[in-house]
């Protein structure tokens, strides 16, 4: 990166933020940066010397020199080492800072930021206003946390409020890794009406974070009668068993995060699980008036009925998703995106709620015979992440984009420390470099309602790059993308990367291609 082009003559600590998704993103990130490395200081004598260096007052700026609101904290001292190709490892002690801010990065590209020394009155850390600890608000949403830890979300665009979202449900599970089967007594424990501990842990110019804590008392497992039925290989569908009368605590910590530019509420749920034979779900009552819903799958977003037909024999109504499930009526919609949470169920009799499975604890593999799987009981602590995105009817494609964007966080890398051990002995600070790459760049920018980028890769047998899209909409949509400076030629291709029709851009250097409903399209790009 050509960090030498950064404005001003002061010392700088540059770093680059990468966006590997097909959508331009504004997202809060936290990155540790080295203020300096000292290659003369080693583990046993360098810590105190590095610690004694006074922490400067710093300001964060973008590539144009504009100040960016940020929280900049002393991150302490750490030992590290470089591994050169031509010499032994090079140890150092580094003094670090942690910078947290909302980055803005173009699609399939990067943006450069830097820290520099500032006058004391330029410190950007804002004082938190905790006047209302239960409210998170930005220009898109207003979230209010209820006494029991559930929350209401107001979509400011439509005026629609979704109530009692995000309560937890724990039920017994006498099934296996293939299928959920609830205990015969149908015993359910929820957080509805349970007083929660709620506190705001962060509120500044770029995000608000609220922490919610529950302690659920749940059965320790299934009753002893189930184990004998397992060993006898009794069909799971015919088993009869109830949950144990012994109760154990299950601590559930929920962290709600609403970012400055966020269109959805980000949620991280940490479960400390000490029980067996149960399932934990988060439930989102949508209150939407519709008989169908949408779920992301492999190269499609499939429409499903909220109720199964008479041929459905599974005692569990769960379905499968990849990135998200969504529901919409004539005026509003609600999408729940996830990371690795592939099981959900629509509860048609409970306000068309979307229930997402967070944790399943089971004792056997299933299929045939008895094959114990003790590790599948998931004893331990787990953190599960999802996002709740309200949207207006007619903006389904935008909601899909948000659901896919949730899968990929921005990443950052510090610049200016390459081969630092070669410069001089002792303390080494990041340097500015005259490089070939600009300070900000997008390798691929595209537009298209409901069109999702699924691949951006080098060819298997040639140096061409291959880009793949899918149209998730039930009608034709136009894909438009700009001819970037690195593109010499763009052509239609297929899954085996054969060359087809060469495309021609319009007078503005933009390609326009119509994708049929649910079409998967591959393009080859000659560099």
CATH for 3-125+410-441, options being 3.50.50.60, 2.40.128.120, 2.60.40.2210, 3.30.70.20: 2.60.40.2210
CA distance 439 to 490: 26
Element (H, E) at 172: strand 167-172
CATH class of domain segment(s) 445-526? mainly beta
* pTM assigned to the model: 0.93
Return the number of other C-beta atoms located less than 10 Å from residue 304's C-beta: 15
CA distance 250 to 173: 16
pLDDT for 189: 98
Residue carrying the six token digits 């209401």: 152
Q: Which has the closest alpha carbon to 137: 254, 256, 27, 284?
A: 256
Pairing of strands 167-172, 160-165: unpaired
pLDDT for 293: 98
Looking at the DSSP assignment, which residues form a beta bridge with residue 82? 90
What is the chain's alpha carbon radius of gyration, rounded to the nearest angstrom? Answer: 27
Tell me where in the chain the CATH 2.60.40.2210 domain(s) lie: 3-125+410-441
Q: What is the pLDDT along the chain (527 residues), one digit of tens a residue?
A: 999 999 998 999 999 999 999 899 999 999 999 999 988 876 666 778 888 888 899 999 999 999 999 999 999 998 899 898 888 888 888 999 999 999 999 999 999 999 999 887 555 555 556 668 899 999 999 999 999 999 999 999 999 999 999 999 999 999 999 999 999 999 999 999 999 999 999 999 999 999 999 999 999 999 999 999 999 999 988 999 999 999 999 999 999 999 999 999 999 999 999 999 999 999 999 999 999 999 999 999 999 999 999 898 888 899 999 999 999 999 999 999 999 999 999 999 999 999 999 999 999 998 889 999 999 999 999 999 999 999 999 999 999 999 999 999 999 999 999 888 887 677 899 999 999 999 999 999 999 999 999 999 999 998 999 999 999 999 999 999 999 999 999 999 999 999 999 999 999 999 999 999 999 999 999 99
Tell me where in the chain the CATH 2.60.40.2220 domain(s) lie: 445-526
Element (H, E) at 447: strand 446-447
Element (H, E) at 404: helix 396-405
Tell me where in the chain the CATH 2.70.98.30 domain(s) lie: 135-405
> CA-CA distances (angstroms) from residue 489 to 441, 453, 469, 521?
19, 19, 18, 17
Which two tokens mark 102? 């909302």
135-405 fold: Beta-galactosidase; Chain A, domain 5 (2.70.98)
Element (H, E) at 228: helix 225-231
CA distance 487 to 464: 10
CA distance 127 to 202: 10
CA distance 295 to 320: 8
- 241-246: long-range pairs with CB below 8 Å, 24+: 241/174, 241/183, 241/184, 242/172, 242/183, 242/184, 242/185, 242/187, 243/172, 243/183, 243/185, 243/187, 243/219, 243/277, 243/278, 244/219, 244/220, 245/219, 246/219, 246/220
pLDDT for 87: 85
CA distance 487 to 466: 12
CA distance 321 to 324: 6
Return the number of other C-beta atoms located less than 10 Å from residue 134's C-beta: 16
Element (H, E) at 523: strand 520-526
Strand ranges inside 238-323, DSSP E: 247-259, 265-273, 278-284, 292-297, 300-305, 319-320
pLDDT for 519: 97
């Amino acid at each position: 990166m050509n960090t030498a082009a950064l404005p001003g003559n002061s010392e700088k600590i540059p770093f680059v933020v990468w966006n590997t998704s097909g959508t331009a993103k504004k997202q809060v990130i936290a990155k540790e940066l080295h203020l300096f490395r000292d290659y003369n200081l080693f583990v046993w004598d360098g810590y105190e010397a590095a610690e004694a260096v006074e922490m400067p007052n710093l300001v964060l700026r973008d590539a144009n020199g504009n100040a960016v609101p940020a929280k900049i904290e002393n991150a302490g001292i750490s030992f590290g080492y470089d591994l050169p190709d031509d010499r032994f490892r090079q140890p150092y002690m580094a003094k670090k800072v942690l910078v947290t801010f909302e980055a803005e990065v173009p699609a399939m590209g990067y943006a450069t930021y830097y820290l520099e020394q500032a006058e004391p009155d330029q410190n950007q850390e804002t004082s938190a206003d905790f006047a209302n600890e239960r409210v998170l608000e930005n220009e898109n949403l207003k979230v209010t946390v209820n006494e029991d830890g559930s929350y209401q979300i107001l979509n400011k665009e439509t005026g629609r409020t979704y109530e009692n979202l995000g309560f937890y449900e724990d039920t017994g599970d006498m099934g296996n890794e293939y299928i959920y089967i609830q205990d015969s007594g149908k015993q359910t424990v929820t957080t509805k009406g349970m007083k929660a501990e709620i506190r705001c842990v962060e509120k500044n110019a770029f995000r608000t974070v609220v922490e919610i804590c529950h302690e659920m008392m749940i059965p320790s497992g299934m009753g002893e009668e189930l184990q004998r039925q397992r060993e006898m290989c009794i069909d799971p569908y015919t088993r009869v068993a109830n949950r144990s009368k012994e109760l154990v605590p299950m601590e559930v910590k929920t962290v709600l995060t609403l970012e400055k530019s966020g269109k959805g509420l980000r949620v991280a749920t940490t479960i400390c699980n000490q029980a067996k034979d149960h399932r934990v779900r988060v439930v989102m009552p949508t209150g939407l008036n519709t008989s169908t819903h949408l779920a992301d799958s492999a190269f499609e977003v499939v429409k499903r009925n909220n109720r199964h037909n008479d041929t459905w024999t599974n005692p569990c109504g769960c379905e499968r998703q990849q990135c998200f499930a969504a529901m919409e009526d004539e005026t509003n919609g609600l999408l729940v995106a996830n990371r690795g949470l592939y099981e959900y169920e629509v509860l048609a009799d409970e306000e068309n709620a979307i229930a997402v499975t967070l944790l399943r604890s089971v004792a056997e593999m299933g299929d045939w015979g008895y094959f114990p799987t003790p590790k599948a009981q998931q004893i331990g602590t787990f953190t599960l992440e999802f996002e709740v995105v309200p949207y207006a009817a007619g903006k389904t494609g935008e909601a899909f984009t948000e659901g896919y964007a949730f899968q990929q966080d921005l990443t950052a890398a510090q610049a200016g420390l390459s081969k630092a051990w070669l410069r001089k002995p002792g303390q080494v600070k990041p340097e500015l470099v005259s490089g070939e790459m600009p300070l900000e760049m997008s390798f691929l920018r595209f537009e298209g309602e409901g069109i999702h980028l699924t691949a951006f890769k080098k060819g298997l047998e040639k140096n061409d790059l291959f880009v793949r899209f899918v149209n998730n909409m039930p009608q034709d949509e136009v894909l438009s993308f700009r001819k970037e400076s690195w593109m010499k030629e763009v052509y239609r291709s297929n899954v085996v990367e054969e060359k087809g029709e060469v495309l021609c851009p319009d007078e503005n250097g933009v390609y326009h291609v119509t994708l049929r409903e649910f079409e998967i399209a591959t393009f080859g790009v000659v560099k």
